[in-house]
Amino acid sequence: TEKRITARAHTNIALIKYWGKRDEKLFLPMNSSLSLTLDAFYTDTTTSFLPESQEDIFILNGVTQEKKEQEKISAFIDLFREAAGISTKIKVESTNHVPTAAGLASSASAFAALGTSLNELTGMKMDKTTLSTFVRQGSGSATRSIFGGFVEWDMGTNSFDSCAKQIDDASWDIAMLTIPVSTDKKKLSSREGMKLTVETSAFYPAWVAQAGKDLHMIKEAIAAKDFIRLGEITEANGMKMHGTMLGAIPPFSYWEPLTVKVLQKVTEIRGQGLPCYYTMDAGPNVKVLCRKSQAAEIKQILDDTFPENLSIFSGVGQGAYLLTDI
Ligand code: DP6
C-alpha cells in the first residue's frame, strides 16, 4: 500500500524581522530573527511517492499547479532526495487554512509543513534543528515555523548552523490580532524586496546593526516575561525594517492609506491603557501583539473602527508535527 505522510505547520510572525540574505542560494540571512508561532493560520501537506512518474506533482488547495510552481517545489524536494539518496518523484497535496480568502497565506507554514512531511516520507527522520536548516532553503521564514512559541532563527556561520530554536513556549498572556488591510497579491515579493534593499538602501547597514541589538533586548524581555518591553521592541524593530525600504533605489513601501489609520488606532488604544503593539511584514496588513486576556477588548475596538476589515484573533501556535501515525 502506498505510503502517505501528512504534516501540519503553523505560520509565524517575526517580532525581530529577517530582512536580507548574505547568501541567496543557501538562504543565509544577514541578521538573526525572532518570531511568535500562531495557531490560527496553518498548512496541511501530504506527500507520497510516484514510482511511475517522470515529474513531481504539486496540488495546492485542490488545484494542480503550473510547471513554474511545480519546479520551485521540485527544487526543494531535491534537497531531501539528495540527502536520502533517492530519485523517485513525489506528489505534494497542500491545503492552506487561513480565515480569509487570500493574502494571508504564508510561505513559512507551506515549506515547514512540506519539509516535515518529506522528512518522514524519505526516511531522513532528522531532528527538528537539522530539519529547520533544510526548510530554510525553501523560504527563510519557514525555518522558524518548525518550532512553537517564541523562536529564534540564529543566522549562524554556514548552512548547517543557520537554524531555529525555541526560546520560550510563550505559554503566558500572549496573543496576536491580524487586521487584513488588503488581500490583493503583493506587488513585490519579500524575496525581491529584501534583495533590492540589501543592494541599494543607504539605511541597510544601520538595519543590520540595530537588528542585532533588538534581538538581544527582546530575549531579555522574554526571559523576564516583560510584555511592555516585548511590545516596544517589536514595534520599533518592524518600523526600522520598513524604513530601510524608503532608502532603497527606487524607494518602495508596502503601506496603504488604511495601514496608517490602523497603526494610529493601535497607538490610540495603547494610550487608553490597553497595551498593544503593531508589526507588519512585506505587505499592508497589520499584526497587533497584545495580552491574550485583553485581546477580546482590543479586537472589539478595532472592529468597531474598521468594520470592513474585521481582525482575526490568534493564540500561540505549536511547532510543525505529523498528522499521520507512524
Ligand atoms: C518581512 O521568508 O518570505 O516577513 O526567504 O526569500 O522566502 P524568502 O523570504 P520570506 O521573508 C520574510 C520577510 C518578513 C520578515 C520575517 O518573516 O522575518
Query: pLDDT tens for residues 19-33?
Result: 999 999 999 999 999
How many residues does the structure list for the chain? 326
CA of 13 to the centre of ligand 1 (A): 10
Ligand 1 atom nearest residue 111's Cα: 7
Place of cell 476589515: 309
- 162-203 confidence digits (pLDDT tens): 999 999 999 999 999 999 998 777 689 999 999 999 999 999
Q: Is 140 in the pocket of ligand 1 (CB under 6 A)?
A: yes
| β-bridge partners, 120 | none
Angle at 209 between CA 203 and CA 211, to 5 degrees: 95
Q: Is 6 helix (H, G, I), strand (E, B) or coil?
A: strand
Our mutation pick for probing the ligand 1 site, out of 107, 178, 190, counting the most ligand atoms within 8 A of Cβ, is 190
CA 148 to chain centre: 12
Comparing CA positions, the residue from 167, 161, 162 lying closest to residue 147 is 167
Give pTM, 2 decimals: 0.97
Q: Is 141 in the pocket of ligand 1 (CB under 6 A)?
A: yes
Q: What is the pLDDT along the chain (326 residues), one digit of tens a residue?
A: 689 999 999 999 999 999 999 999 999 999 999 999 999 999 999 999 999 999 999 999 999 999 999 999 999 999 999 999 999 999 999 999 986 544 577 899 999 999 999 999 999 999 999 999 999 999 999 999 999 999 999 999 999 999 999 999 999 999 999 999 987 776 899 999 999 999 999 999 999 999 999 999 999 999 999 999 999 999 999 999 999 999 999 999 999 999 999 999 999 999 999 999 999 999 999 999 999 999 999 999 999 999 999 999 999 999 999 999 88
| Structure-block grid coordinates of residue 320 | 510543525
CA of 28 to the centre of ligand 1 (A): 12
| Structure-block grid coordinates of residue 79 | 534537497
Q: Which alpha helices (H) appear in the chain, and where do they start and end?
A: 67-84, 107-121, 128-135, 190-200, 204-223, 227-246, 257-271, 292-305
Cα 204 to Cα 243: distance, rounded to the nearest angstrom? 9
